[in-house]
């Protein structure tokens, strides 16, 4: 049986982070969907430097998530970059290993000020997709 409808919202608010380490953590917030049969859900997140996801940076394992809830994934990026656009997307699978397709990709720009105070600015990406 196919997963009929899964709703996944991708939200990243404008964010400024003080950088004091080798990495910058960016919280990616997902609004998870619901399996039509009420099965448990898992989410997989993919992040790349291009919209076709050929230059992949992160591909998570399947992470347990609650249906119809907010799920936050803290993505880590090197703090030695000056500016980079990242593309991100997600997909669900249920306990029967039925997998949805990837949602439409969204992006954000990570800009790091190389001043002594070190400030990372993340510009927003918003979107919502319904998988059928």
Which pLDDT tens digit goes with each residue over 83-99?
888 999 999 999 889 89
Beta-bridge mates of residue 112: 120
pTM of the model: 0.73
Structural domains in the chain, CATH included, are 6-131 (2.60.40.10)
- Give the pLDDT of residue 21: 58
Tokens of 64: 């347990």
């Amino acid at each position: 049986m196919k997963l009929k409808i899964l709703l996944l919202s991708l939200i990243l608010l404008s964010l400024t982070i003080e950088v004091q380490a080798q990495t910058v953590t960016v919280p990616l917030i997902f609004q998870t969907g619901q399996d039509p049969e009420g099965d448990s859900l898992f989410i997989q997140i993919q992040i790349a430097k291009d919209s076709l996801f050929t230059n992949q940076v992160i591909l998570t394992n399947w992470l347990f998530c609650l249906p119809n809830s907010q799920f936050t994934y803290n993505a880590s990026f090197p703090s030695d970059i000056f500016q980079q656009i990242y593309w991100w997307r997600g997909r669900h699978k249920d306990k029967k290993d039925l997998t949805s397709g990837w949602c439409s990709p969204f992006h954000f720009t990570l800009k790091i000020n190389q001043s002594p105070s070190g400030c990372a600015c993340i510009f927003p990406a918003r979107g919502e997709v319904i998988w059928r």
